[in-house]
Amino acid sequence: MDGHIYTNSLEALNNSYNEGAKIFELDIRETKDGYYVGTHDWKTWAQQTGYSGELPPNLEEFKRYKILNKYTAMSFEDINNWFLSHPDVVFITDKVDKPLKMVNLFYDKSKIKMELFSKKSMRMGGGIFDGAMANYYSLSQITKTLLVKYDFISMIEFFKKNNLKYVVAGKPFSYEDKFKLKLIRLNGIKIYMYLFGTNDEITQQVIEYRSYLDGVYYNKIPN
C-alpha cells in the first residue's frame, strides 16, 4: 500500500480490489486474548504502530493503533465483514496452522484457502474444507520416502487418504523439486506458487515455472 508492505489493512484491501484483484492473501495472527487479527508478525506490527507494550497485544490494544499512523488495522470480524461485502473474491492465508478454528470463523468456507504446515493440520484441513493447501516443503519432510530418489508413493497416498487437492510451493525450485512437482500434477493434485517482485520479475517467473504449476498469486497486480 503506497509502497509499504505487510500492512494487512483495510486500505490495502480496498486499493487492491479497485485495481482488479480477486484473490487476497492476508497474514493472520492471534492476540493475547485469543482473537485473530490481520498482521504479518508482531515485531513488524509494533514497528509500524509505535506500540511499546508486551507482545502480542490484546484485541483492544491492536485496534487502538493506526498502522504507519494512517492505515486501519483489521480484526477478524472486520476481515469477515469486508469479504462478506465483496462476494466475488477469495481469501488466502498461511500464518495460522489451525484450520478448524479458522474455517469456523470465516463466513464462507468455500471462499477460503489455507496453506498448512503440519501433519495434523493437513489431515484436519483436508477433512473439513476444499481449500486446504499443503506446503510442499513441509509435506516433503512429513512423507520421508520422498527424500530417497524419486519415490512419490507416500506423498500421493497421503493426499488421497486426507482428501488434499492442492500444494503450495515456493521458489527457487531445484531440478529434483521440478521433477517431483511434475509427477504430483500427473496424479491430479494442483500446484500453486506465491510470487513476488517487480512486474518484469513476476512475468519472468511465470514464464519460467508455468509448466510446473496450475496457478500463481502475486504480491501485486502486474501491469
Q: What are the extents of the domains in the chain?
A: 1-96, 116-223
* Phi, psi values for residue 215, rounded to 5°: -175, 165
**75 versus 142: which is more confidently predicted?**
75
> Residue 102's pLDDT is what?
93
For residue 148, give Cα distances in angstroms to 48, 100, 145, 214, 215: 45, 33, 5, 26, 28
Q: What average pLDDT score do residues 26-30 get?
A: 95
Neighbour count for residue 110 (Cβ, 10 Å): 10
For the CA atoms of 201, 203, 209, 210, the dihedral, rounded to the nearest 10 degrees, stands at 170
Q: Which residue has the higher pLDDT, 146 or 172?
A: 172
pLDDT of residue 158: 86
Query: Does 213 have pLDDT greater than 60?
Result: yes
Residue 147 scores a pLDDT above 60: no
CATH number of the domain located at residue range(s) 116-223 in this protein = 3.40.50
CB distance 132 to 115 below 8 Å: no
Alpha carbon distance 188, 78 (integer Å): 36
Instruction: Specify the CATH number for 1-96; select among 3.20.20.190, 3.40.190.290, 3.40.30.10, 3.40.630.10.
Output: 3.20.20.190
128's CB contacts (< 8 A; 6+ apart) are 99, 100, 103, 109
pLDDT band at 154 (very low <50, low <70, confident <90, very high): confident
Q: Given this model, what pLDDT does residue 145 score?
A: 47
The 10s digit of each residue's pLDDT in 119-136 is 899 999 999 999 999 998
Residue-wise pLDDT for 179-193, tens only, equals 778 888 888 999 998
Comparing 70-74, 146-150, 163-167, the range with the smallest average pLDDT is 146-150
Q: Looking up cell 504446515, which residue turns up?
A: 117
**DSSP-assigned letters across all residues of 22-38:** -EEE--EEE-TTS-EEE
